[in-house]
Amino acid sequence: MDNPRAKLPIGIFDSGIGGISVLAEIIKILPNEEFIYFADTLHAPYGNKPENVVQSLSIKTTEFLSSVGVKCLVVACNTATGAAINEIRRMCAFPVVGMEPAVKPAAELGIKGKILVMATPLTLKSKKFNELIRHYKHRSEIVPLPCPGLVEIIEHGHIHGREIEDYLSRIFSFVNKEDISAIVLGCTHFVLIKEEIVKVMGMEISIIDGNYGTARHLRRTLQNERLLNNGIMEKHKIPLKTNIRFYISRNGKEVIRRCKQLLQNEGIVCESECSHCG
């Protein structure tokens, strides 16, 4: 018998547009699902705030998405996951999928050299991240690279061009390229500037993010809980069409425009229903 909850949307949140990089991977492997995307642009960036502040913001967002009605929740933010995933899980009667910097797949590549982890200052300070490093340090040398201010540049829509290149050149001037085998993008915003990172660091260094792994983990979770929506199979087409309801806490119209553009760059056309903007 069909599970009636399977027809509900998937809730997904981030401080801003970074979570769209995760959502794009999810839509590609789960084209029959509908989504609610919450971007807390009123409080972005999260990565330079104290942990208890990010915790209470994440809890508020979770309460809101639960009240709107979702069948599961994706915390498309490494910073919020590091600060609040246990509290979020305790609150929810549905499955919750979080994110962590993809150190495991990077270490499993087994390439000689250091693994550089680009993330927000709060992610790199978190207990969760430091446990992750401890777990993999016997395999590879893991070097945290805090990137304060980078999320703000991306939130302002500068994902190409001078400002971002200058920022990256400055931050990478502290590392010796020859020593690095892989860069882990430990913030969902940074996936949006992957091309710029390749430009500055070169093609030889593997650049790894956790987005596809998160999408697969979500699919497995929905399968196990009998929550997959198998209803509308004709959606397996290019361009992929998808329904997303946006809730944006500040500068909504502009943020939605950027989100839709980012999805379109991935071959996804977003037919949003009603959207709610702060």
Interface residue list for ligand DGL (CB under 6 A): 14-15, 18, 44-47, 77-79, 120, 123, 151, 187-189
Closer residue to ligand DGL, CB minimum distance, 53 or 232: 53
CA distances from 31 to 221, 238, 242 (A): 16, 11, 7
Both tokens of residue 266? 């991935």
**CB of residue 76 to ligand DGL, shortest distance in Å:** 7
For ligand DGL, the closer of residues 76 and 142 by Cβ is 76
CA-to-CA separations, 99 to 10, 229, 231, 271, 274, in angstroms, rounded:
16, 23, 28, 26, 28
Contacts (Cβ under 8 Å, ≥6 apart) of 148: 47, 48, 120, 121
Minimum CB distance to ligand DGL, residue 61 (Å): 12
Closest contact distance (angstroms) between CB of 141 and ligand DGL is 23
From CA 141, how far away is CA 36, in angstroms rounded? 38
Residues with Cβ within 8 Å of residue 189, at least 6 apart in sequence: 14, 16, 17, 18, 21, 150, 151, 154, 155
- Known catalytic residues? 77, 187
Task: Indicate the residue among 11 and 47 with the shorter CB distance to ligand DGL.
Answer: 47
Residue nearest to ligand DGL (CB): 47
Min separation Cβ 250 and ligand DGL, Å? 13
The smaller minimum CB distance to ligand DGL, of residues 22 and 70, is found at 22
Give 34 or 40: the residue with its C-beta nearer to ligand DGL: 40
DSSP per residue, 47-110: TTS-HHHHHHHHHHHHHHHHHH--SEEEE--HHHHHHHHHHHHHH-SS-EE-----HHHHHHT-
Least distance to ligand DGL, CB of residue 94, Å? 22
